[in-house]
Structure 1
């Protein structure tokens, strides 16, 4: 299937009920895979996500001499010498942002040159601030465009004592530097050049994962961390379910007045996107203004849910959404206006959704261009729960983080029609 394939969700007309277990967290799985690869010994990762993004990460680590076995659908067994070797070929990482950014920093520990590349979407995603930070820390890092492909000429060790980074564009830059910092020859400080940071909750996630693998991280203040040169130790690690994936199921429950048991309470998640449940729980009386900076991947879910809210919703602080798998601000605007013209407007980096509960029960000839972005596909499936005729292009793109998404909806009783553009 590809861009010419479509899926049309048939409005079920009844509350969605049942038990659906969301997949493991992509964010935590890719952190744990990398740290296990940098640790000497064998680590068992349980509850892991198997998807395009984690496949790209695990394959890249295999190319650098790490043994990774997959005994079942939710486990990785990672055995490493504690150091990454020079790969024989460039690392191809698709459109996996975490894999590209985390590995760009991590391969500084390789004694030789490593090329990191991705698909045509990845080749438009900025990585310049991370490269500049690495260069100032003494790393030889090249990129012709400020986006992948990237070439890192590693020296086999990390000699920097300080990395400075503007985390405003992506918290993944900060996480990448923190994780490699534990491999330093001496203690390394990671400092923000501004107080702004993409999504601070993901830094907490990174530090928790690092500590599980034996790292010592001191949080000096909100803009400075000090990482000891401990390296990493192999361990057994349990990965929690993916909060971003859970948001679609929480929203489906709210939209249909259903009862979907995810097997884990919203408050049990440590990922930032779980904060979206506080907003979803208020539907159809969502707040008039929602700040997207600290739960970025949940904003597509909330934007589609807002279309059926009683009152209009303005989403603010969305600049980071413009440099995700696609420009999600524009993609949400275009998709909502496909569902019904005038449903959304963009002002700067704000998205305004002109909510209307009367939208439920209507029909549309919407054709949603997903731009191969898993989150755009999954969020507009929610519109299809209440509006007839919403066609979603390239439905297989959900494989990036939630390969079983369409099956989960079918299990809850949602029917779908497959077609072509």
Structure 2
């Protein structure tokens, strides 16, 4: 058996300088792909991300009768009748959480049975809160384990009414129901059963995308949205760069006291993870406590950056990170302590990074288990900018959202050594 693939980042001897354009937003691309598929006509999505997650989404839409063309590396052209068709086979969606959750709701409009499945990591990611909400709203949706695979038996019609959802575990459940709601035969209310919601900013992204495709949404109160039965209209839509991807470049700039031009103003991002920029700008005097609830995908970046801070940083409100592509709280703890024992501790769902700026310039022998999680690979590459001997497993997993990541680092002068399969 061949050795597992690894990559080792060679610490650069000078500040990183250059221009790197981040890929398109994964979050917005998968929302726009679905809404374009639910709209009658042809939509052109520019600035889009082409990665594993968006390929799973576009592939599933093709299986349901939607034409998805790719004229260039950053464009999807989507042509649809506005009605998804029952696929001839199960929809395999890898470990793409947005694709599984958004489509689980959307296929309620299909006249027939749809099975949604994923890889072994997806089989551990909870979806039962969304299924309960769908069933309470009259949709037949089930899972044997509370995680994918999921079976949805659609009638082809979605009556008006009300969906209630606990959004505390994932805002994606809320977004899934909101996008579905515009397809109703009458107005549909989407209501939270509590005021807590994971990364509410992503719901705002969903609403902005829905409105761009013609949806009408009214906020009735702090926890209830009313969605009119407008359906969606085909449109041309420009997707902004990915803020989560930008965090790695911002952090690389901070760690090396460099200057990296992303080709877009820092304040041009509307995605929640862009809030990480303010904490990265504080380095090496980051805040003593950082709430991760509203910028969840940026926390791995900030946690690795905090390892080189002047003082410890406590990251709070991280429960949602435990149900991402892997348990990211545990993975960060394991990876940081592989670099230096005692570098991180966990208290409940809080991660405390015990900053050690003296790590810079040292050499260790640390093998980082990414659990095939793209964010673990990309964030620990940042540690490799300051510490020699950090070996990151499964480097190809960055293809989930940033296929060009290693090339982007190389373009800035960072050397990487790949070994194994």
Q: Is the 8 A contact 1:45 1:75 kept in 2?
A: yes
Alignment of 1:37-186 (within 5 A): 37-186=37-186
Q: How big is each residue's C-alpha offset from its partner over 1:264-321, in whole Å with a ceiling of 9 and x where there is no partner?
A: 1121100000000000000000000000000000000000000000000000000000
What residue in structure 1 maps to residue 315 of structure 2?
Answer: 315
CA distance in 2, matches of 1:259, 1:406: 18
Q: Once the 2 structures are TM-superposed, how far is the Cα of residue 149 of structure 1 from its aligned partner?
A: 0.3
Equivalent residues in 2 for 1:339-350 (5 A)? 339-350=339-350
Alpha carbons 1:3, 1:394 under 8 Å: kept: no
Partner of 2:354: 354
How far the C-alpha of 1:221 sits from its partner, in A, is 2.2
Residue of structure 1 equivalent to 2:391: 391
- Shift of residue 212 of structure 1? 0.2
For residues 117-143 of structure 1, give each alpha carbon's deviation from its aligned partner in whole angstroms, at most 9, with x where no partner exists: 000000100000000000000001110
* CA-CA distance at 1:359 after TM superposition: 0.8
| Cross-structure match for 1:36 | 36
What TM-score, normalized by structure 2, do the two folds share?
0.99
* Change in 2 beyond 3 A, CA 1:366/1:274: same
- CA 1:317–1:297 in 2, change beyond 3 Å: closer, same or farther? same
Query: What's the CA shift for 1:3?
Result: 8.2
The answer on whether the counterparts of 1:217 and 1:226 sit within 8 Å (CA) in structure 2 is yes
3-state SS of 1:198 partner: coil
TM superposition shift of 1:55: 0.0
Change (3 A) 1:333 1:164: same
Distance 1:322 1:266 in 2: 29
CA deviation after TM superposition for structure 1 residue 388, in Å:
0.3
Q: Deviations over 1:12-41 (max 9, x none)?
A: 021000000000000000000000000000
Superposed CA RMSD in Å reads 1.1
Is 1:4 aligned to 2:4, yes or no? yes
Once residues 369 and 245 of structure 1 are traced to their aligned partners in structure 2, the CA distance between those partners, rounded to angstroms, is: 20
What's the counterpart of residue 220 of structure 1? 220
For 1:261-410, what aligned pairs fall within 5 Å after superposition?
Answer: 261-410=261-410
Report the Cα distance in structure 1 between the residues aligned to 2:310 and 2:388, rounded to whole angstroms.
20
Give the match for residue 205 of structure 1. Answer: 205
Q: How far has the Cα of 1:160 moved from its partner?
A: 4.3
Q: Which stretch shifts more, 411-420 or 93-102?
A: 411-420
SS in 1 for 2:365: coil
Q: How far 1:219 moved relative to its partner? A: 1.6
Equivalents in 2 of 1:236, 1:349: separation in Å?
41
Taking the aligned partners of 2:199 and 2:382, their CA distance within structure 1 comes to 25
Alignment partners' CA distance in 2, 1:135 and 1:266: 42
* Distance of 1:112 and 1:4 partners within structure 2: 42
> 1: distance between equivalents of 2:284 and 2:56?
39
* Counterpart secondary structure, 1:351: strand
Paired with 2:133 and 2:116, the residues of 1 have a C-alpha distance of 17
Shift of 1:222: 2.1
Alignment TM-score, normalising by the size of structure 1: 0.99
Hey, which bits of structure 1, 4+ residues long, moved more than 6 A?
none
* Superposed displacement of residue 356, structure 1: 1.1
Asked if 2 retains the 8 angstrom alpha-carbon contact of 1:3 and 1:393, the reply is no
Check conservation: 1:16, 1:257, Cα contact below 8 A: yes
Structure 2 alignment gaps of length 5 or more? none
